[in-house]
Amino acid sequence: MFQKPLLFPWRNVVENILLPADVLHLDKDAARKRALGLLDLVGLEGWENHYPSELSGGMQQRVALARVLLPDPDVLLLDEPFGALDEMTRETLDLELARITALTEKTVVFVTHNVYEAVLISDRICVMTPRPGRVTGVVDVPIERPRSATILSTEEFSEKVREVRDLIGAVG
């Protein structure tokens, strides 16, 4: 997944989710069924025939998430997928992502510049230096799942944020 949703405006929502099926020549009927299931999973049931321009930024990234999940990959590589969204939407989508990837048992490599976001969704955080990119420290986040926004105000959460910040500080 990219920073932009990169939905194709000439395809409606379900057709966008089916893009990998078209390119990978997956069975059409099965893929369609799966796409509609994924649409429910990302909370967009009933939106399959709408076009991307009718969707908000958050909804577009939900569609992009469904699209990346369609071919059932083992690992998801997400490069700041919610970076362009407002704080509230980002938080919602972070938690949704955590729920969905737990449900579908995916490994996720998630790139972000937002420390709170990292702590909120991660099992393990690798802090990297800018240019050249090197790992300077690894922080495990043993906060219980499923997580909700309430953990944002816990002592454990603040502790982890401080730990990551210290590592970044050491880099800078």
Partner 1 sequence: MEVEMDADTRVADRDGLLPEPAETTSRTRRWLDSRWRGPIGAGILAMLIYTLWQTAVSNAWISDIILPAPGDVIVAFAETIRSGFFYEHLWITTQEVLIGFGVGVVVGFTLGAWLGSSRLARDVAYPYVVAFQGLPKIVLAPIFVTALGFGMASKVVMAVVISFFPLLVNTEAGIATVDRDAVKLMQSLNASKRDIFFRLALPHSMPLIFAGLKTALTFALVGAIVGEFVGAGSGLGYLLESYAYQLQVPRVWAVTAVLALMGVVLFLLVDYLDRKIVFWRSNGPNTGSTL
Toward partner 1, which CB reaches closer, 69 or 115? 69
Burial class (CB in 10 A: 0-12, 13-18, 19+), 155: exposed
- How many CB atoms are closer than 10 A to CB 72? 11
Q: Are 51 and 12 in contact (CB under 8 A)?
A: yes
Q: For 89, which DSSP code? A: H
Task: Pick the piece of the chain touching partner 1 (CB under 8 A) from 51-59, 86-94, 100-108, 149-157.
Answer: 51-59
Region from 22-30, 36-44, 94-102, 133-141 binding partner 1, contact rule CB under 8 A: 22-30
Tell me: does residue 9 bind partner 1 (CB under 8 A).
yes
Least distance in Å: CB of 82 to partner 1? Answer: 14
10 binds partner 1 (CB under 8 A): yes
Cα of 90 vs its chain's centroid, Å: 9
**Cβ of residue 9: shortest distance to partner 1, in angstroms?**
4
| From candidates 13, 17, 18, 20, binder to partner 1 by CB under 8 A | 20
Q: Does 53 bind partner 1 (CB under 8 A)?
A: yes
Angle at 111 between CA 171 and CA 98, to 5 degrees: 125
**Per CB under 8 A, 58 contacts partner 1:** no
CB count within 10 Å of CB 145 equals 11
Near partner 1 by CB under 8 A: residue from 36, 43, 71, 89:
71
Q: How many CB atoms lie within 10 A of CB 28?
A: 11
Give residues in contact with partner 1 (CB under 8 A): 2, 4-10, 19-20, 22-24, 51-55, 57, 60, 71
